[in-house]
């Protein structure tokens, strides 16, 4: 499980997204202004993307896209299947599903946790602490076990994550349920992070983690034989989307894509702070505009139900990433989420409702989502450009849908 060479290769610094203050030591927020911290590294070049180490797969096939680590903790994450969805088209465009649900712990988070666990081993830390709506918790427990680290999981009681918590316990993690929502669990994780523990809460809290998502852009280009027109990404805070955005920027820089894919963030209308921020800046895309934000009530899309309470600026990082690609942020209602989950299951693809929001977005009535229904990111209508749905998490860990 743990290899002591062939980790990432990029020398990097940790840089504040707000004031630019930089440091070589890992930090979770800016010492000067409290802003979120991102990894900053030299631009990748074509020469950097040579052969990877023996047995490398997924993100480890592209070590030049990863922060430098001596350790590689891997369970075979990444290189997930891309399958055509014959029952749906986005106008003339074919639609494909990227089955992130088939990662080792059944969600996309494994790409990030492999990097986090590797960095924790490098630093000689005791364990991983994670605030999670469930998927990150199972992933952290999985990769802590693989790395021989301890794991403490903090989950908000609103997250309806019983099956996910069972998985964490089975993997040897200590589980603490915190009254309230994800943000409450997140605040507790911040209080615990420190000597001996790495915080792997994926809400941009640990700047190393989203780097594990960059190689997704390269996988998609390989699998499609071309760059997609758009990639639809379910988002809580959105580090997955930002990681993919960085990957397409890398792909453009080394000549593997003519332009970045339009990235479309999708949220459940009931918990949609980033969609609300997007609408304030840009208005709703198209006449339909997707769902209008609905007040109150829990969403079935628990894995992306992040209100960003206390770290609102993290949502700005995601909005900026979407803007750089010419994409959009949309919200979908509960009825369309249930319908999309059932439609995918009826075609043999069992995912959780949060993942199915990506399919719901295609049919959301947002008539002019860039790269999906309308012009692509370059402003032209490239009819052949495929649309990719990031199916972020498996159905096996999710609560059953309400009866039809
Ligand atoms: Zn700062």
CA dist 333 and 295 (Å) reads 11
Ligand 1 centroid – CA 14 distance (Å): 11
95 occurs within a structural domain: yes
CA dist 69 and 55 (Å) reads 17
3-state secondary structure of 61: helix
CA dist 193 and 89 (Å) reads 45
CATH code at position 233 = 3.40.50.1100
What residues pair up with 231 in beta bridges, in sequence order? 263, 388
**Sign of the CA dihedral running 94, 303, 319, 250:** negative
Ligand 1 centroid – CA 186 distance (Å): 20
Mean pLDDT of 13-36: 91
33 occurs within a structural domain: no
CA dist 294 and 292 (Å) reads 6
Ligand 1 centroid – CA 317 distance (Å): 14
Relative to beta strand 22-23, strand 72-73 is unpaired
Count CB neighbours of 278 within 10 A: 25
Distance of CA 398 to the CA centre of its chain: 17
Ligand 1 centroid – CA 38 distance (Å): 11
Asked if 215 and 247 count as a contact pair (C-beta separation under 8 A), the reply is yes
**Range with the lowest mean pLDDT among 11-15, 75-79, 318-322, 383-387?**
383-387
Ligand 1 centroid – CA 15 distance (Å): 8
Ligand 1 centroid – CA 74 distance (Å): 33
200 occurs within a structural domain: no
Ligand 1 centroid – CA 28 distance (Å): 11
Which structural domain range is residue 362 located in?
82-107+210-397
Q: What per-residue confidence (pLDDT) applies to 400?
A: 86
Reported confidence tier of residue 360, pLDDT bands at 50, 70, 90: very high
Question: Into how many domains does the chain fold?
Answer: 1
Q: Please report which residue ranges of 172-257 form alpha helices under DSSP H.
A: 182-192, 215-224, 239-253
Q: What is the mean pLDDT of the chain?
A: 88
What are the backbone angles phi and psi of residue 323, rounded to the nearest 5°?
Answer: -60, -40
Does the pLDDT value for residue 232 go beyond 80?
yes
CA atoms within 13 A on the CB side of 346: 9
Ligand 1 centroid – CA 21 distance (Å): 5
Ligand 1 centroid – CA 129 distance (Å): 24
Does the pLDDT value for residue 285 go beyond 60?
no
353 occurs within a structural domain: yes
131 occurs within a structural domain: no
Mean pLDDT of 71-92: 93
Distance of CA 268 to the CA centre of its chain: 15
Ligand 1 centroid – CA 42 distance (Å): 20
Ligand 1 centroid – CA 207 distance (Å): 14
**Sign of the CA dihedral running 240, 243, 245, 250:** negative
For residues 10 and 84, the model is more confident at 84
164 occurs within a structural domain: no
Nearest Cα to Cα of residue 293 among 306, 312, 281, 276: 276
Q: What per-residue confidence (pLDDT) applies to 80?
A: 98
Considering 26-30, 266-270, 373-377, the range whose residues carry the highest mean pLDDT is 266-270
Reported confidence tier of residue 287, pLDDT bands at 50, 70, 90: very low
16 occurs within a structural domain: no
Nearest Cα to Cα of residue 371 among 87, 95, 85, 81: 95
**Range with the lowest mean pLDDT among 74-83, 90-99, 150-159?**
150-159
What are the backbone angles phi and psi of residue 117, rounded to the nearest 5°?
Answer: -65, -40
Q: What per-residue confidence (pLDDT) applies to 279?
A: 93
Which position has the token pair 């081993």? Answer: 121
Count CB neighbours of 339 within 10 A: 17
**Range with the lowest mean pLDDT among 9-23, 186-200, 257-271?**
186-200
CA dist 129 and 107 (Å) reads 18
Dihedral, 184, 108, 176, 198 alpha carbons, nearest 10: -90
141 occurs within a structural domain: no
Ligand 1 centroid – CA 8 distance (Å): 26
Ligand 1 centroid – CA 68 distance (Å): 23
Which residues fall within 8 angstroms of residue 280, CB to CB, at 6 or more apart?
none
Each residue's pLDDT tens digit, 217-226: 999 999 999 9
């Amino acid at each position: 499980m743990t290899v002591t060479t062939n980790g990432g290769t990029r020398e990097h610094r940790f840089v504040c997204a707000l004031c630019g203050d930089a440091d070589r030591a890992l930090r979770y927020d800016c010492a000067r202004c409290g802003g979120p911290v991102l990894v900053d590294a030299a631009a990748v070049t074509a020469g950097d993307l040579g052969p990877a180490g023996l047995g490398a797969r997924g993100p480890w096939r592209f070590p030049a896209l990863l922060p430098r680590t001596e350790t590689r903790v891997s369970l075979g994450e990444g290189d997930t299947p891309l399958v055509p969805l014959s029952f749906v088209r986005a106008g003339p465009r074919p639609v494909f599903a990227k089955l992130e649900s088939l990662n080792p712990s059944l969600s996309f988070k494994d790409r990030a946790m492999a990097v986090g666990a590797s960095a924790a081993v490098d630093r000689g830390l005791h364990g991983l602490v994670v605030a999670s709506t469930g998927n990150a918790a199972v992933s952290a427990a999985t990769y802590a076990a693989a790395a021989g680290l301890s794991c403490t999981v903090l989950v908000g009681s609103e997250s309806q994550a019983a099956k996910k918590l069972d998985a964490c316990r089975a993997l040897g993690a200590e589980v603490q349920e915190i009254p309230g929502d994800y943000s409450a669990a997140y605040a507790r994780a911040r209080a615990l992070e420190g000597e001996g523990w790495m915080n792997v809460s994926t809400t941009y809290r640990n700047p190393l983690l989203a780097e594990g998502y960059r190689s997704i852009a390269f996988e998609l280009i390989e699998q499609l034989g071309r760059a997609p027109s758009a990639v639809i990404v379910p988002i809580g805070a959105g580090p997955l989307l930002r990681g993919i955005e960085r990957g397409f920027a890398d792909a453009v820089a080394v000549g593997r894509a003519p332009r970045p894919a339009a990235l479309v963030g999708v949220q459940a209308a009931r918990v949609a702070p980033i969609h609300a921020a997007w609408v304030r800046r840009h208005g709703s895309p198209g006449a339909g505009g997707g769902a209008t934000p609905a007040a109150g009530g829990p969403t079935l899309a628990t894995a992306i139900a992040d209100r960003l309470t206390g770290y609102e600026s993290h949502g700005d990082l995601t909005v900026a990433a979407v803007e750089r690609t010419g994409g959009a942020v949309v919200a979908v209602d509960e009825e369309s989420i249930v319908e999309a989950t059932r439609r995918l299951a009826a075609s043999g693809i069992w995912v959780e409702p949060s993942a199915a929001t990506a399919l719901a977005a295609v049919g959301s009535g947002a008539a002019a989502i860039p790269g999906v229904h309308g012009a692509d990111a370059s402003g032209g209508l490239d009819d052949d450009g495929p649309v990719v749905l990031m199916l972020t998490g498996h159905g096996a860990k999710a609560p059953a849908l309400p009866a039809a």
